[in-house]
Amino acid sequence: MLNIVPKPCSVTLSPGILRLGGRDFKGLVTRADDKTIFPQGYRLTISPDGVTAASSDDDGFFNALKTLEQIKFSSGSFLPSVTVEDHPRFPFRGFMIDCSRHFLPVDELKVMIDAASKFKFNFFHWHLTNDQGWRAEIPELPDLCKKASVRGSSHFGSVCDPSPHGGFYTVDEMKDIVKYCRERRIEVIPEIDMPGHAASLIAAFPELSCDGRPIGLKTTGGIFNDILCAGNDKTYKIVFQIIDSLCGVFDGEYFHIGGDEAPKKRWKSCPKCQSLKSALGLNDEEELHGAFANTVAEFLRQKGKKVISWNDSLNGENLDDSITVQFWMDKAKKSVKRANSGGKLIVSDFYHYYMDYPYGMTPLKKVYGYNPVLKGLDHVGETSVVGVEAPVWTEHIRSLDKMSYMCFPRFLAVAERGWTQESLCDYDDFKARSKKLLPMLDYRIRYAPEQDWDILTCSRVKETTSFFINAINEDNIKNFLDSR
Ligand code: ACM
Ligand code: ZN
pLDDT in tens, 273-325: 999 999 999 999 999 999 999 999 999 999 999 999 999 999 999 999 999 99
Domain with CATH 3.30.379.10 in the chain: 10-86
Distance 177 CA to ligand 2 centre (A): 36
Q: What Rg do the C-alpha atoms of the chain give, in angstroms?
A: 23
The protein residue whose alpha carbon is closest to atom 3 in ligand 1 is: 260
Taking CB atoms within 8 Å and a gap of at least 24, the contacts of 153-156 are: 153/219, 154/219, 155/219, 155/220, 155/473, 155/475, 156/101, 156/220, 156/221, 156/395, 156/396, 156/471, 156/473
Ligand 1, residue 393: give the atom nearest the CA.
2
Residues 6+ apart with CB under 8 A from 459: 360
Taking the CA of 285 as reference, the closest ligand is: 2
From first CA to last CA, the distance across the chain in angstroms is 54
Can you name the residues that pair with 151 across neighbouring β-strands? Answer: 165
Distance 228 CA to ligand 2 centre (A): 7
Neighbours of 346 (CB within 10 A): 28
* Band (481; pLDDT cuts 50, 70, 90): confident
Segment 3-51, tens digit of pLDDT: 999 999 999 999 999 998 877 777 789 999 999 999 999 999 999 999 9
Cα separation values, 319 from 45, 195, 282, 373, 378, Å: 47, 14, 12, 21, 21
Q: Distance between CA atoms of 262 and 309, rounded to whole angstroms?
A: 12
> For ligand 1, atom 1, which residue shows the shortest CA distance?
260
CA–CA distance, 118 with 437 (Å, rounded to integer): 10
Whole-number Å distance between alpha carbons of 9 and 48: 23
Per residue in 134-143, pLDDT (tens digit) is: 999 999 999 9
Helices (H) and strands (E) counted in the chain, each on its own, are 18, 19
Q: Is 45 helix (H, G, I), strand (E, B) or coil?
A: strand
Task: Count other C-beta atoms under 10 Å from residue 427's C-beta.
Answer: 15
Residue 6, preceding bond cis, omega within 30 degrees?
yes
Q: Which CATH superfamily is domain 10-86 in?
A: Chitobiase/beta-hexosaminidase domain 2-like (3.30.379.10)
Q: What residues form DSSP beta bridges with 40?
A: none
Q: How far is the CA of 36 from the centre of ligand 1 (A)?
A: 39
Say how many Å lie between the CA of residue 108 and the centre of ligand 1: 23
CATH 3.20.20.80 in the chain, residues? Answer: 92-459+468-482
Residue 297, C-beta contacts closer than 8 angstroms, at least 6 positions apart: 257, 307, 309, 320, 322, 323
pLDDT of residue 478: 76
Residue 330 pLDDT grade (very low, low, confident, very high; cuts 50, 70, 90): confident
Lowest-pLDDT choice from 17-31, 189-203, 328-342: 17-31
169-190 pLDDT tens trace: 999 999 999 999 999 999 999 9
Residue bearing the CA closest to ligand 1, atom 2: 328
Q: Rounded CA gap, 387 and 45, in Å?
A: 28
The ligand 1 atom nearest the CA atom of 354: 2
Per-residue pLDDT tens for 426-475? Answer: 999 999 999 999 999 999 999 999 999 998 888 888 888 888 888 887 77
CA separation for the pair 390, 242 (Å, rounded): 26
Ligand nearest to the CA of 261: 1
**DSSP category for residue 289:** H
pLDDT at 25: 76
pLDDT at 320: 98
How much is the pLDDT for 256?
A: 98
Q: Which numbered atom of ligand 1 lies nearest the CA of 310?
A: 4
pLDDT at res. 26: 75
Nearest residue (CA) to ligand 1, atom 4: 260
pTM passes above 0.95: yes
The CATH class of 92-459+468-482 is alpha beta
Measured in angstroms, how far is the CA atom of residue 328 from the centroid of ligand 2? 27
Distances (CA, A) of 2 to 74, 83, 159: 8, 11, 44
Could you give the percent of the chain with pLDDT greater than 70? Answer: 100
Report DSSP state, residue 136: B
Q: What is the mean pLDDT of residues 206-215?
A: 98
Main-chain phi, psi angles of 187, to 5 degrees: -90, 135
DSSP string covering 318-353, please?
---TTSEEEE-SSTHHHHHHHHHTT--EEE--HHHH
**pLDDT tens digits along 58-85:** 999 999 999 999 999 999 989 999 999 9
Which residues sit with their C-beta closer than 6 Å to ligand 1? 260-261, 310, 328
Residues 6+ apart with CB under 8 A from 57: 39, 40
Residues near ion ligand 2 (CB < 5 Å) are 210, 229, 231, 270, 272-273
CB 194 within 8 A of CB 201: yes
Point out which residues pair with 53 in neighbouring strands.
31, 44
pLDDT in tens, 121-171: 999 999 999 999 999 999 999 999 999 999 999 999 888 999 999 999 999
Ligand 2 centre from 323 Cα, in Å?
24
| Nearest C-alpha neighbor of 467 from the set 394, 359, 390, 391 | 359
Distance 309 CA to ligand 2 centre (A): 21
